[in-house]
A and B are shown apart, each in its own frame.
Chain A
Amino acid sequence: MPKLTITANVNGRKISRETQPFSRLLDFLREDLNLTGAKEGCGAGECGTCSVFVDGTLVKSCLMPAAKAQGTRIETIEGLAKPGSLTVLQKAFHKTGASQCGYCIPGMVMAATSALRENPNADIEEIKERLGGNICRCTGYTKIFEAVEMTKAILAGDSPESVLEEDKVGDSYIGANVRRLDAPSKVSGRLKYAADIKMYDMLQMQVLRSPFAHATIRSIDTHEAEAMDGVACVITADDVPGNDGFGVFVHDQPIMARGKVRHVGEAVAAVAAEDVLTARRALSKIKVEYEALPGLYDPSEAMKPDAPIIHDYAPDNLIKHIPIRKGDIEKGFAEADIILEDDFSTQQVEHAYLEPEAGIAYVDPDDVVVVISPSQNITHHRHMLAEIIAKPINKVRFIMSPVGGGFGGKEDMIYQGMLALGAMKTHRPVQLNFTREESLIASAKRHPARIHYKMGLKLDGRLTAISFDMLSDGGAYGMSSEGVMRKAAILSCGPYKVDNVNIDTRAVYTNNTPSGAFRTFGGMQAQFATESMMDMAAETLGMDPFAIRRINMMTIGATTHTQQTLETASLDRVLAAAETASRWEKGAPTVRGSERRDLCGPDTRQSCTLGARIKTNHNNPRFCAQVA
């Protein structure tokens, strides 16, 4: 294949380097020049982790063929400041805490740099628009915008550089603005995430995934793939030497599909080869014979007697049932003046951390199997992997690389086992970097929940009884389902005093993508139902929604549904703060539309518009200006 020689000026230095004719600029920078500050968050131009300047114009390097960089001047995050120093903007990111996981930050710093270069006077709306092509999942953007505005003020001479210095901490760190220790490594693009690390003689792994949701694997023929030039090994479930099974609670998931697949995207085989392209081509040579099985996609079907069985150990498809009983539910409803009943459902949600799953495994000279990955649970992973690969615990080592966002989604060991097997089979370092698509299809999601809710109240708003019945779609494997159900049950009735409760949370197996840990761990699904019920109760009883919550809130000394006596309680202060901040007009939450004066206030999010920079070119008054 004819190679392409790219000659360009990169960060002020002339380079001339060979690459593939189809390399993207991102590949050229990361692989050929080892400039790993630009990341591959999506490979499709959606996320902006790969932003770099080409001839002074910011571009997404994943969408630019490397050939387009011929003869250009390229500036990457590594070239913004001299080694060992930071630009004003980078310092501002450090100061405001704009970097959290840090994975979006090189791209975000580049986009912010571009925004201020293009228009040093850009107002906040224009700054937001100019950063619109870069996604952050940690910060909610506020701290990033603060950093850009701080920089703008310093560069304009409106603000002294001293604002970049760390605030003095008084008697307590609580409430003090403390700079993150790791921010300089993130804002400069120096920090190496797992996909940024290279090891000598390292192989690249790619994974063959199931197109079926539920199917028996009749056979897997890997001969042709194994015979290909550049392929070091092909692994399947047959390569697992020990007890194959992992999971946060129940160890029901094999490293790769064993005998059958249970969801679309489940790993079936993996190839380790000299490069990604060879590995991908080898995947297409693996022949898998499937026999489709009836699928189970609706959690309410899962517990019916004739439902397909997903795991032999659980013929009822039940992953976990958490029941909580307190008081006398019949008596509670008998005492109620009104009973409200409703159903709620929530959807599957992807974490969408900017860093797709990535990792490296190798076998060290002492036969220790080492796995480097952004795992949120390395100790547990280490113990599980030792069992799976039949090694004593001191021969398994996990190194946690910087986590480019997890939010619970990196608690499950969905690929570290394959890496370990690849390294053990080849005795070479093996790296696996998920694509965004792969991350979406293979990683756990927030549990979709269906909740049947029944609430009994007195006419004065006091709760007498709650019956809470949640059915969650656990998907194909148990993962964190048990813990999520426990948390959902504990938080189900909210921070409210109820003498009589009946709580059931259940997670069941289906052939959907597995559900796992995700921020609040089941609490959000439960609270959506509970708080909606509280609002509907207020409406039914003609009460103010803050008032009905104050009547029922737990205070110091209250006993929770799980028999814990509260020594502190803050709901009164939370409600007061929310009421003030929302400028709430007291009264029942019946619809008064435009009569409400607490809507559309100065801090309300405005409707979606774009074009801040166009509008500044126009002097035409809006309609309203004429009317006024």
Chain B
Amino acid sequence: MLTCDTYHTPHSLAEALELWSKAPEGSRIVAGATDILPWARDGRAGDVHVPELIDVTRISELDGYTVQNGRVRLGAGTVYQDFLTEQTLMRYLPCMPYCSIWFADDQIRAQASLTGNLVNASPAADGTPAVVALNGEIELARLDGEDIVRRLIPVVDFIRGPGQTQLTKDEIATAVVLDTAQGYGGSFQKVGLRRSLVISVACAAGLVKADHDGRLFEDVRLAVGGVGPRPIRLLEVEQSLKGERISHDLIEQVAQAATDTVGSRSRQEYRREVIVNFVRAAIEDALTNQPNVNISFEDAREEHYA
């Protein structure tokens, strides 16, 4: 059971930063609150009392998104469901809808923010690999006197380990900035205990761009989560595919090679096997999902779909 003395609902970022800098030790920022409420229950943190909760979801400056110079800036108010309803975001960030559909359920997605998911820094967070594949940065704001000072950190560095980030005292995460990847095919892979509403055991995000003829890999982005304390970008796999002829054999080869990156301490063998399948499926699904290109595999084989 989560209890607090005061629940603040600031309407501007300046007000929120002011409250946050003065909040007593142990106070918390909340966005969707879909993680903090289940956390304060028996079996996890148990009953927790915090002095203040500062809700940042009524701050209009954190709403919405902008697209500029090949980057999408998502305000911290962006929730997972937006990636399934906003056509612009679906087009520019093609792995996000697939990530989103595997994240919790429609009701939780309507509340849960991408920024909050990154700040919680769970190794199993679904959003992390998708954001890392999109060369994501997180924007952090703090007050310097009257001024709001902001800095950007690549998400792959921002997350230092389970629950640990580079967020310093008095800072609030205000946005996530991502590459636009229009024309790419996107994909998301997830292993969990059931279909809906489940935390990932491991997950992976893929972005692939084939040439017009669907014969060559022009660009590939792959990231995995849940296999180590930090998100992992599979740069070697990406490099070994770029410019190459698209074939099942090549995909299989790089998938096998990718297992060396697995750093998880638990269930290593299982996760290694998962990685091979993830990398293969992430590339193949992304190829399938690339708009307006028919992929031609060098070693095309008949697929059975019942």
Contact = CB atoms under 8 A, between A and B. Distances in A.
Interface in B274-306: 288-295, 297, 300-306
Given A1-B5, A45-B37, A618-B291, A59 B105 contact: no
A60 B37 CA distance: 12
A21 B5 contact: yes
Interface in B218-276: none
Interface in A593-616: 594, 600-601, 604, 606, 608, 610-611, 613-614
B37 to A, nearest CB: 5
Given A618-B289, A622-B288, A627 B303 contact: yes
A12 B98 CA distance: 36
A610 B43 contact: no
B195 to A, nearest CB: 5
B6 A2 contact: yes
B110 interface: yes
B196 A133 contact: yes
A195 to B, nearest CB: 16
A467 B239 CA distance: 62
Interface stretch (A65-73, A296-304, A311-319, A555-563): A65-73
A60 B102 contact: no
Interface string B48-85: 00000101010000000000000000000000000010
Contacts of B29: none
B168 interface: no
A365 to B, nearest CB: 35
Contacts of A614: 84, 90, 97-98, 101
Contacts of A280: 1, 47
Given A57-B110, A67-B55, 9 more contacts: A45-B197, A63-B111, A133-B108, A277-B3, A280-B1, A437-B43, A438-B42, A620-B292, A623-B297
Contacts, number: 144
23 contacts: A1-B5, A22-B4, A22-B7, A45-B34, A45-B38, A48-B107, A58-B110, A67-B7, A67-B55, A70-B9, A129-B106, A129-B196, A133-B105, A133-B196, A611-B101, A614-B90, A618-B289, A620-B289, A620-B290, A621-B294, A623-B297, A624-B304, A627-B303
A57 B107 CA distance: 8
Q: Which are the 3 A-B pairs with shortest beta-carbon distances?
A: A133-B105, A132-B196, A600-B306
Contacts of A46: 197
Contact of A620 (B4, B105, B288): B288
A24 B37 contact: yes
A133 B106 contact: yes
Contact of A604 (B9, B90, B295, B306): B306
A437 B42 contact: yes
B30 interface: yes
Contacts of A48: 105, 107
A51 B110 CA distance: 12
Contacts of B293: 620
B2 interface: yes
Among B7, B42, B57, max chain A CB count under 10 A is at B7
A499 B107 CA distance: 58
Contacts of B212: none
